[in-house]
Structure 1
Amino acid sequence: MMASLVAAVTVLALCCLALLGCCIWLFRRQRQQAELQARENAARDERIKVLAARLDTYLKGSVRMGKELHELSRVVSPLPDKFSKLEQRDPNNFVFSQAAKLVGMGASVDDLTQSCGLSQSEAELMRKLHQVRRKPD
């Protein structure tokens, strides 16, 4: 009976040692995980700072571009009226601008002479001018 009691106490002591070893292993493992998580959090926070700075730069650029577009719109908006006034002042200018539009749409020299009333040489000149402008594009 005494031997079985000693054996039971020995088994219980071994179980306690095994449990203590397991607890120590789990504690170290938890500390490693916490350190790893802290490093990952620091890296994430740094990435967030970088992205926030980039976003701020993009937003400032967008605001600046919006202001410039607004200013450009303000400058450009009266141009159609000015163009109309210029066309009304010089009827020949209207003929040439109309011919330029037609050449842009692929009109031939004969088309220009018939629809715009240009001479053959004027129509050829318009065609050549438009072709010169088209080539660099």
Structure 2
Amino acid sequence: MWVAVALLVVACLALAGFSVWLLLGQRRQAALLVQQASQIAAQELRLKELAKRGEAYQRVNVRMGEELGELRKQVATLPERLARLEQRDPTSLSFSQAARLAGMGASAADLTQACGLSQAEADLIARLHRGGKVQE
């Protein structure tokens, strides 16, 4: 009889120990879940921030594309305008000479003096032959 009671006590103690072990494991799992939930929340916040930045970059790119299209429209007429200016006085080679000088680095002021062009004409030729930079 005492043996049966002793075995029952040992079984109860083993069951109690196992229950404590399960309880501690459950608490570890709960803490791990809380930590993972916190990480997920931080990742979701980061994703939202990145999505906002991506949208901002997209808006900037669209705006830059529109502005580039406008610049292309403006620049597309410049060669035609230059051709008209050159054809205005066919006996004079001043525009061709000015184009050569601008290609060699002459400033707009140099072009007005050397070729007898107006300031606006010299600026136009200087821009065409130097990528838009006008030197005074």
Give the TM-score normalised by structure 2. 0.67
The structural deviation recorded for 1:10 is 2.3
Counterparts of 1:75 and 1:92, CA distance in 2: 24
1:20 aligns with 2:52: no
Corresponding position of 1:46: 45
Partner amino acid, structure 2, of 1:97? A
User: Paired residue for 1:93, among 92, 95, 119?
Assistant: 95
What is the rounded CA distance, in whole Å, between the counterparts of 2:23 and 2:30 in structure 1?
11
Q: CA deviation at 1:16?
A: 0.4
- Post-superposition shift, 1:32? 1.0
Deviation at 1:50? Answer: 1.2
| Superposition misfits of 4+ residues, deviation over 4 angstroms | none
Query: In structure 2, how many angstroms separate the alpha carbons of the residues matched to 1:99 and 1:63?
Result: 38
- The answer for unaligned runs of 5 or more in structure 2 is 106-113, 115-134
Corresponding position of 1:10: 9
- Following superposition, the deviation at residue 22 of structure 1 comes to 0.9
Report the counterpart of residue 124 of structure 2 in structure 1. Answer: none
Taking only aligned residues, the RMSD between alpha carbons, in angstroms, comes to 2.2
Percent identity, please: 35
Task: Specify the alignment match of 2:71 in structure 1.
Answer: 72
Read off the aligned partner of 2:102 and give its amino acid letter: A
Distance 1:12 1:5 in 2: 10
Q: What stretches of structure 1 of length at least 5 have no aligned partner?
A: 105-121, 123-132
TM-score scaled to structure 1, two decimals?
0.67
Partner of 1:37: 36
